Structure 1
Amino acid sequence: MFRGSEALAAGALTRAALRGPRYRRLLPDVYTPAALEPDLALRSRAAYVWAGNRGVLTGYSAAEMLSAACAPAGAPAELALPGTHPKAPPGVLIRQVTLARDERRTYQGVELTTPVRTAYDLARRCSLAEAVVAVDALAGRFGFAPKEVLGLARRYRGARRTLRLPEVVALAEPLAASAMESRLRLVLVLGGLPRPAVQYRVPDRRAHVVASVDLAYPEQLIAIEYEGADHFAGHRVVRDVHRYTRLVDLGWRVYRYTADDVYQRPARMVAEITRALRHPR
């Protein structure tokens, strides 16, 4: 990633080459090789370069850089900048926040908020479900207890939207394996169903573990799985078929849901699991 003006000044590129098919302009004067996918991590780095390699990446940008992906599709790059600054270009969100020295770190050449501070910011800013998703992802990735978010709330008494943080922390589950698994769990819990076990290890009749399922109601022998795109790859399909067969053979009912179900048919999911819980085997 580089500034086009600097490459031109150094004679490393011509203006024609910069505008050609080999490079992609992500932000004003910020370019990358066209082969790179402009995902949130790349766009966040571009925002940092656009700001003159200053400021601090926050929120979803910090989470993405920390390999705790939890952003909804299309989330903008987020950057905290002190004082006056140029108007942010489309796709970049400038935050005005107070950060203590122990709430920021240097990672892979950029400044960003620490995992706990990132969780605190997202837990206050997002909807309840997305706040829990963020805390799940960050706490699971870095091994901190979700209640550490409440420590920052005590540091910043009176900050906006901190009153709901205990609810976010109570709903958090660091064992969640992905953001979409967290969203699936929250559809059920916020829909009024009992809290399911997470990453439950299913034993056979000799107490040997035969499968680990995303969510489970063990007493009712109900397994609930989130099926992302990776589940439909050739080798994964075969492995899943064997796993589901073992579960059914042990008397489990397996409910499999996709992103379309989570986002477009949550009421149907809640109704299906409600019926299953009311009529156990």
Structure 2
Amino acid sequence: MAGLIRYSELLASGWSRGQVRCRAEAGALTRLSRGVYVPTTAPGPDERLAAVFDRLPDGCALGYHSGASLHGFGDARSEDLHVIVPAGLVVPRLRGVVTHESIVPVRNPMWIGGVPCAPAVRCAIDLARTLRRMDALPVLDLCLRVGACSLEGLRSELVAHRALRGVRQARRLVDLADPRPECRQESQLRLLLVDAGLPVPEPQCWVHDRDGLGIYRLDLAYRECRVGIEYDGLSHLDPDRLRHDRARMNWLAAEGWRMRHFTAHDLYRRPTYIAATIRTLLTR
């Protein structure tokens, strides 16, 4: 990238080491990585990526959290830059860069922002193998929702990872992956119920009136039992939203639906309470 300047190039152009240091301290130069500068005070993300890959050997590629973000499903956020490194390749230690040595080569890397990036299915399966289950399923759901991956593509990618750590978890989560959830908490609620031994609930379930018109959509539901499950985030505290929710609850109750609402406190602090509550409703 044209905006990047190597330290050796600055010295070769007649600058002294002291001048380089003074310009950097004054903000005229920004040090992106060891020996690499850019003449701006606020380098863009592409320049930072180019500076990092300028110091990495060929064969490396963005992946995991960083690759998922570039592909549009960065639900598992990380402040670090995650790079896939071929097994046995020696790379320098760089601040803010996490390297993942892998025996599985990155096939057909995509060039995004001037740097190689692992395909979306590779990033998704790597995260499904290595993240906690509660964090991994939202990633898979989101990658399907934004269209970055297909279920067939995820299953095909699993074959290349069959000997790696965590592939059994990834395989089970791919079987559960669904593009319909609209937030990570909906995905986590679904996984919580399945892990508790309950049937898989239907995400984003439409409830119709007697004329067949879709009236309300539930976060999760067991349609045959008329049990609905909602995740209430901060947006539900808005007065207008509260009035809408009240009318919604009354209509659903009149139609025979038994609704249960859960919050972040329930999801992350009282998961057994959620499972016990839904199990009781389903067994009545």
TM over 0.5: yes
Matches within 5 A, 1:4-83: 15=24, 18=27, 48-52=49-53, 55-71=60-76, 76-81=80-85, 83=89
Q: Which residue of 2 aligns with 1:278?
A: 283
| Deviation for aligned residue 1:215 | 0.3
Aligned-residue offset at 1:195: 0.9
Aligned to 1:112: 117
Task: Please state how far the C-alpha of 1:3 moved relative to its aligned partner.
Answer: 7.4
Kindly name which structure, 1 or 2, has the bigger radius of gyration based on alpha carbons: 2
The 3 A distance-change label for structure 1 pair 148 and 276 is: same
TM-score in terms of structure 2 length: 0.74
Q: Name the CA shift for 1:75/1:261 in 2 (closer, same or farther; >3 Å).
A: farther
Residues 100-153 of structure 1: CA deviation (Å, up to 9, x unaligned): 442x21335543222211122112222334333322221222164324323123
Work out whether residues 221 and 227 of structure 2, in 8 Å CA contact, stay in contact via their aligned partners in 1. Answer: yes
Question: Matched residues in 2 for 1:232 and 1:69: separation?
Answer: 27
Distance 1:228-1:148 versus aligned 2 partners, 3 A rule = same
Decide whether aligned partners of structure 1 residues 200 and 84 sit closer, same or farther in structure 2, where only a CA change above 3 A counts.
Answer: same
Measured after TM superposition, the shift of residue 79 of structure 1 is 1.7
Of residues 145, 148, 152, the one that matches 2:157 is: 152
1:80 deviates by 2.3
Q: What amino acid does structure 2 have at the position aligned with 1:161?
A: G
Structure 1 alignment gaps of length 5 or more: 37-41
User: How far has the Cα of 1:202 moved from its partner?
Assistant: 0.7
Contact kept? 1:70, 1:134, Cα under 8 Å: yes
1:184 maps onto 2:189 in alignment: yes
Which letter maps to 1:79?
V
Amino acid at match of 1:62: G
Residue 231 and residue 108 in structure 1: after superposition, are their counterparts in 2 closer, same or farther (change >3 A)?
farther
Distance 1:205 1:160, change over 3 A: same
Partner of 1:221: 226
**Per-residue CA shift, 1:67-117, capped at 9, x if unaligned?**
213216x6643122453322132x431112343442x21335543222211
Distance 1:27 1:224 in 2: 49
Asked if 1 retains the 8 angstrom alpha-carbon contact of 2:233 and 2:263, the reply is yes
1:140 paired to 2:145: yes
State the alpha-carbon separation in 2 of the partners of residues 47 and 234 from structure 1: 44
Which runs of no fewer than 5 residues in structure 2 stay unpaired? none
Query: Contact 2:218 / 2:230 at 8 angstroms: preserved in 1?
Result: yes
* 8 Å Cα contact 2:205-2:219 kept in structure 1: yes
Give distance in 2, aligned partners of 1:25 and 1:191. Answer: 51
Measured on the aligned residues, the alpha-carbon RMSD in Å equals 3.7
Aligned partners of 1:265 and 1:70: how far apart in 2?
Answer: 23
Letter paired with 1:80: I
> Aligned pair in 2 of structure 1 residues 265, 3: CA closer, same or farther (>3 Å)?
farther
